[in-house]
Structures are given as C-alpha cells and as structure tokens.
Structure 1
Amino acid sequence: MKLVKSLLLGSAAGLTVVAGAQAADLPVKKAVPVEYVRVCSAYGAGFFYIPGTETCLRISGRARYEAGYMTDGSRQVSGAGDAFQSRGLLRLNLDARTQTGYGTLRAFVRAEIASRTGQSKMSSGTQQRIANAFPAFGQDTFGRVQEFVVADKAFVQFAGLTAGRASSFFDFYAHDFEIIASTLGSDVPSTNLLAYTAKFGEGFSATISMEDPMFRKNPLYSQVAGPAAGAGTASAFFQGTTAPTPIIISRNAAGVVTGVTQIDAVERSRMPDFVGALRYDAAWGSAQLSAAVKDVNVGGPLGAASTFVGGPAAARVATGAFVGAQTTYGWAVQGGVKINAPFIAPGDALYLQGAYGEGASIYTGYTAFTGTYINQTSVYGGNPFNQWLADAVVNPNTGRIELSNSFTVVGSYLHYWAPEWRSAFFGSYGEMRFPSGVRAALANIGTAAGTLANGATAYPTTNLITAAPGTLGFGLSPVLRDTYQVVAGASLIWSPVKDLDIGAEAQYIRVGTLNGRVANADRNTAAAGVAGALYSVTKEDTFQARFRVQRDF
C-alpha cells in the first residue's frame, strides 16, 4: 500500500512539473494600460492633454441671468409701453493648443445661446438684422421674445496668422468694463476675417486684417415706400431686397422737376474691409492706433423713370445725374490707451479712446446704443423723434453718393473698492452729420408740383421729407438731421467667490439735434408729427438699469 501511495504522489508531482514547464512556454497577456488625463501646464490653468495626443485643451463657459428696466413711452403711442427686460445666457468655450516648430498652433471656438425678452434693447433688432437671433411671432411676443444663437468665435492662430470668426482687429476698448455695453465705441466681437500679426521690438505688434464687409455696413438713406408701376400710388418695398432712393433726371426750363427715377440703395458685398492696427503692450498698460477702409456702393435704376407734365417736351432738360451703379470708399481711424493703476488699487485701470470716420458709423461706434444695420430707428418705443444713422446719402441732384461723418470719444475707469467689490464709471459722447444741402434736395422732390405724364395727379414717390425748404414742416422734420449722443453710467459688482459676479449698472442716455428743432412725435397728432405740429423738441432723454448674476468656469 505504501508503495502504491508513493507511486501516485510521485506521478502527480511529475505531472505538475511538466504542466508548469509547458505553461512557461505560453505567451503572457498584459493588462491594457490605463491612460490618465494629464495636466498641461504650458498654457496656464485649466489645460489638459487630450488622451493620445500632444494637444492641450481647456473647456470653459459661462451662465448668466440679467434683468433690466428702461424708461419707455406711454401706451398712447403705437409700439410703446414696454419697460421690463430679461435674459438667460449660455456660453461654451473650447481652446486647443499644440506646440510646433513654428510656435503654438491654436484653435478657439465659442458658442452662445440666449433667451431674451423685452422690447427695449434686450430683445435686439440689431442682432436680428445681422442673423444672430430670431424672433417670436405671437401677438404678445413679437418684438419682445427672441432666441439668440451665434457662433461667436471659431478661429485658428498659427505663426502670426489668424483665420476664422473673431473680434475685429480695429477694436480696442470693446465695452470691457460694462454690463449693458452701449457706450459709443466700436465693438464687433464676431466677424469673419483673415489677418496677420507681426511682433517686433519690446511689446510692439502690427496687424493687417481682411474683414467681412457685411458686419460693418450701415445702410444708405432710403425710403420705406416707392412708386407702384405705372401709377401714382405708393407700394411697399422690402428693404432687404431693394431700398429705393430717388434722383432727379430732368427739369423744365423753369427749374421744376419733370423726371425722377429710383435707384437701388442696398449695398452689395463687393470687396472686404481692410483694417490695420499698430499696438503696444507693456506693464503700465497698452495703446493702439487702428484704421479701416470700406466700400460704399449703390445699384442702378429700379424701374422706369417717372415723367411729369411740367411744360413742353422741348423745354425739358436733362440734369446729367448719374443713374448707374457706383462705388465710393468710407474710412475710419481710432486711437486708444489703457493705463493700469495698481497704485490706486490692485486691478484698477483706465481706458480712453476716440474715433472719427466718414461713411463708417459702425467703425466709430456711433450706432452702439440706438441700433445698427438700419438707416434710422427710434431711441426707445414712443420716443419723440427717430435718429438717422445712414452711412451715406445719394444726392438727388447729382445721383452721387455723399458720405456722412461721425466721431466718438469714450472714457471708462474700473476701481476695486476691495478684492470682492468693484465699480466701473464710464461716459461717451458722439456726433453724426450729413452732407449739407441733401435734405433740401430731397424735400424738393417730395414737394415737386405737376401732373404725371400718365395722367396721375399724385407725386409717385413717397419721400420721407414732405415739406418744402423754408417751411415749418421742413424745419421740424427729423429726417437726416445732424445729431449728438451722450451715454454715461456706473456699476457696482460683488464677487463673493472667484468667477462669480453679482452686480447692477445704471445708464443715462441723451440724443439731441445739433441744429434746429424737430417735431415731438410723442405729443403731436398731426400726420408724421410735422404738419401743423404744436410741440417740438431738441433732445430726448432716457434711463436704463440692469441687474446681473454671472458664473464663469
């Protein structure tokens, strides 16, 4: 028995050794390595390496709530009566960077989505006109509820090149310290561009940028209605398709207008805007000088000329007005300086900026508060008079484009009362002027006497200046009136923890005429507030305030 037991134990041990030897010859499966997210410290806090790459990525964003109030006209005026506003905003940023032999390769994208309500400025006609927002269409919601969806940033930077959707290189102080952001100054945060920046010396850089013209075109003067084909009555024009503006093509021997045609004042995209900027950055702050040139264009006649019976045909003489498509060029220059003031309090800074332009009101920022991408608009619902903002006017006597001019100045100071409390104090002033004599020339068309050659008795052009020069109606018309603006305000913001802001801002706004008076449309019952006007004004004032809660991450 002992012998059998010994044999069995020996066999088992032998099999175990053989099995172990065979197992040693088999391949060993290694565990799949776990690739943990690594911190990337090369570009600052928040970056990490995308697994499997040498690209560093930072994900950030913003959540914001705002509530606002703006003084408005009474319910007696059509379209007036709104005061309360609100907005909820979502922002998402992705910043990807890779180090290369040519320097850093960067791609940055930002999307913003917001729900806006309130007819007075929060729900923005400017954003709808530039396709950044779309409106609700309910009886109570149209013009008051708006969804804002925009690709705010999407650009690549490499070896001095910037290509994509980014902030305009013309801009300097872009409402950096403000909540409402409506002081007078250029601020186009989203435009399509191709730019090159060269750095030289200690802190100097120079940029040349080719930028999309559509984000800087403020319309030419045009009419909201024009002649119906072959008749003396007016028909509506959709200004996004054709915007009529009249020119005189003939007069009789006595100088009375006998022929008029409408030309298309919609500006087409003919060439990019060209922007140049020279910048200096140092420990004390920064300074920038920038310039831009843009085209201003109109098309040819919209239809057949309207001919009046103003005397024998032989007595009619052509004026020689140019009626074909034409292009001229607007321009703007801007200078600004930022001065850091840690000697007053850590984080304190002062911005000063000024701009002047011709045919370039968006570059000067004169349209920042009232509204952009429109040739005239109200300051608020039920306001006394509309403000005219056209970049140019076609002179009806010559048919030539004549540019308006504008300038703005702005100052903004940020002060920290304590690390968690800060305030901004800001003010701006601007003026806009139109070519002399153009208002009178347009009024002469609007009051031209005579009968149409086709027998109609009404003048076939609905002109916005309906009274003759020298009359009360002409003197009180707000059309193409030279104006000025004042926008000033202050804020108080509390940041109890990092990246959380709770604050409020209040603004005072004045829009006034630089010469003469205009009819008060809020009080006059006469048509257009001109004929038989009992009340006139030289300015209008309004006030707005906004509360904000914002978290960045």
Structure 2
Amino acid sequence: DQAWGLFQASVAAHDNHVAYYGPTEVTGHPDDKWGWAVQLALSIKNIPTGAGDVINISGVYTDGATRYNFQNLAGGSYSMFGSSGIAYQSVGFAYAPDTVFTSAGGGSSQESVKTWGFRGAYTHNWDPYWNTALYGAYAQAQFGSLAKTSLCGVGGTFVTGVSQAGVTGCNPDFAVAQVGVITRWTPVKNLTFSADLNWTHLDQKYSGTVGYAGAGATAKPAAVYELKDPDTITLLLRAQRNW
C-alpha cells in the first residue's frame, strides 16, 4: 500500500460439505471436497483527473468456491424472462454452485465448478460532496463432464419442471456481463445518498424452446418459452448514515 496505489493478492480455501444422495441419511453422501479461490487486485491513486480519483481493478479464479466470484453484484442463480417472437416469452436459466454430484449409480463424488472473472471501476470526485463511479464486471462459470452429462445427456433432466422436447442446444456453462454508473452525494460527514444504474446481460448456452411448468415465485404460467440471452436494468436508490 503506497502513495501511488495498492496491490493485493489473496487466496481462500472452502470446504464443500454436502447433503445426502437421498431423502435420509442412510443413503450416504459424497466425501468432502476442498475448493479454492485466488484473487489479484490493483488500486491506482493520484491520477490526473482530480484529487481523490481512483481506478480499481481485480481478477479472480475459483475452483469449487464459486461465491468468491459470483458475489452480490452478480448472483449465482438466474431465471430471467423477456420477450420472444416465437413463443409466449423468452427465458434464460443459469446456476453457479460450488460443486455438482449425482445420486445415480449409487452416488458420485463431488465435481467442482470452475469460474473466472474480473471487475473494475473508475471514481471521479466532482467536488468534496459529489462523486461518480463508472464500473463493469464480467464472470464466467464452466461445468465439468459429470454436470453436463447429468443435465444434458440421455435421460437428463435439463431443468426441474422443464420439458426438453424443443431444446436444440444444452450446455450449463454461462457468462454474466455488467456495466453500471453510480453517483453519490455526501452533504455532511457520514451521510451519503446514492443512485446506482446497472445493466446486466446473461450469456447462457441453452438454445431452442422449452415447455416451462411455471412457478409461483415468478407468476409465470405454464407455456412454451424461447431459450434466449436476457438483459435487465436496475436502479438502486440508497441512503446511508454512519455513526
């Protein structure tokens, strides 16, 4: 940590201790599997655009420790809906667990899910009370052969409550890209108001159409949906008081 900025390297270990193959403990469970994550981060200070301006960037790789990449800004589970010209609506599915295992054939060991990603932001201070940050992020999840075979192979289930009849491509790998801008106003010390506008794009690898059974949580009816890469825009307004 110097006047010019900060360089950081970090590692983490994660013990994947999972539940049972069946509904009760007598069915057994896979052995624990250790996952890990490594991250590099760089902060550049004293840039010529203004006092206090800063550029922050970081990159991460995980193996069986997905949450160190898919954090609050980019969640690990998606079921996003949109418009479609060939079906009732479109839908994009994505899931990012730490590991995958199956109960078939007496039960498998855990297979880790690998992810990588990076994020960066530039913050400019307009004056002592106002600043704006432009940020972006990209993350990708990659599944192994066990996950792809059990989800997409012969006799696979694809997604719970979904018919595979119209699926032309099945691959659980996916990527998430995000761009956002946040403006903060601090009228007095320890009181900040902010407005955060964010665009998220889900690049999922499924294609075709599916017969979706519907879900009460989304209020979507049972119908045929097109598998499509969705986009979403969110606006978060926040007031924060520190003591």
Superposition TM-score, scaled by structure 1 size? 0.36
1:495 is paired with a residue of what secondary structure? Answer: strand
Query: Secondary structure of 1:357's match?
Result: strand
Q: Find the aligned partners of 2:35 and 2:187 in 1 and give their Cα distance.
A: 47
Letter of the 1:368 counterpart: N
Counterpart selection for 1:368 from 61, 69, 72: 72
Equivalent residue letter for 1:330: G
Q: Secondary structure at the match of 2:240?
A: strand
* Displacement of 1:356: 0.5
After the TM superposition, which residues 48-447 of structure 1 pair with which residues of structure 2 at under 5 Å, given as runs? 281-299=1-19, 301-302=21-22, 324-364=29-69, 366-369=70-73, 371=75, 376-379=77-80, 384-395=91-102, 396=104, 399-442=108-151, 443-446=153-156
Map residues 16-31 of structure 1 onto 2, 5 A cutoff. Answer: none
Check whether the contact 2:198–2:233 (CA below 8 A) recurs between aligned residues. yes
Aligned length: 225
Deviation at 1:335, TM superposition (A): 0.4
Instruction: Quote how far apart the aligned CAs of 1:511 are.
Output: 1.1
What runs of 5+ residues in structure 1 fail to find an aligned partner?
Answer: 1-280, 305-321, 448-462
Q: Counterpart in 1 of 2:160?
A: 464
Matched residue SS, 1:486: strand
Higher strand share: 2
Deviations 1:143-176 (A, max 9, x none): xxxxxxxxxxxxxxxxxxxxxxxxxxxxxxxxxx
- 1:475 deviates by 4.0
Which residue in 2 is equivalent to 1:484?
A: 175
Name the CA shift for 1:297/1:323 in 2 (closer, same or farther; >3 Å). same
Rate the CA distance shift 1:536–1:406 in 2: closer, same or farther, 3 A. Answer: same
Give me the whole-angstrom Cα distance separating, in 2, the residues matched to 1:383 and 1:549: 35
Matches of 2:35 and 2:96, distance apart in 1: 15
> How far apart in 2 are the matches of 1:517 and 1:385?
9
- Residues 269-302 of structure 1, C-alpha deviation per residue, up to 9 Å, x if partnerless? xxxxxxxxxxxx1111111111112222335553
SS at match of 1:441: helix
Corresponding position of 2:207: 517
Give the C-alpha shift of residue 348 in structure 1.
Answer: 0.6
Deviations 1:337-384 (A, max 9, x none): 1111253211111101000011111112x1424546xxx443589982
Q: Distance in 1 between matches of 2:92 and 2:150?
A: 21
Contact 1:350 1:413 in 2 (8 A): yes
Decide whether aligned partners of structure 1 residues 341 and 472 sit closer, same or farther in structure 2, where only a CA change above 3 A counts: farther
Displacement of 1:519 in angstroms is: 3.8
Q: Counterpart in 1 of 2:213?
A: 527
Check whether the contact 1:291–1:333 (CA below 8 A) recurs between aligned residues: yes
Which SS does the other structure have where 2:149 is aligned? helix
Instruction: Say if 1:370 and 1:333 are closer, same or farther in 2 by CA, change over 3 A.
Output: closer
Q: Deviations over 1:446-465 (max 9, x none)?
A: 58xxxxxxxxxxxxxxx838
Structure 1 distance, partners of 2:127, 2:235, is 23
Kindly provide the amino acid, as one letter, of the partner of residue 213 in structure 2.
Answer: A
For residues 350 and 496 of structure 1, what CA distance do their matches in structure 2 show? Answer: 24
CA contact (8 A) 1:341 1:350 kept: no
Give me the whole-angstrom Cα distance separating, in 2, the residues matched to 1:473 and 1:367: 33
* Alpha-carbon distance between aligned partners in 1 of 2:167 and 2:81, rounded to the nearest angstrom: 24
> Is the alpha carbon distance of 1:303 and 1:384 closer, same or farther for their aligned partners in structure 2, counting shifts above 3 Å?
closer
Secondary structure, aligned partner of 1:287: strand
TM-score with structure 2 setting the length: 0.76
Q: Flag the 1:528–1:379 CA change in 2: closer, same or farther, 3 A.
A: closer
Give the 3 Å change call, closer, same or farther, for CA 490–324 of structure 1 in structure 2. closer
Shift of residue 444, structure 1, vs aligned partner? 3.7
Please tell me the residue identity of whatever aligns with 1:405.
K
Deviation at 1:325, TM superposition (A): 3.9
Q: Distance in 1 between matches of 2:190 and 2:150?
A: 57
Give 3-state SS (helix, strand or coil) of 1:282's partner.
Answer: coil
Residue type matched to 1:483 in 2?
F
Amino acid in structure 2 at the alignment position of 1:539: D
CA distance 1:390–1:519, shift in 2 (3 Å): farther
Percent identity for Structure 1 against Structure 2: 26
CA distance in 2, matches of 1:550, 1:294: 32
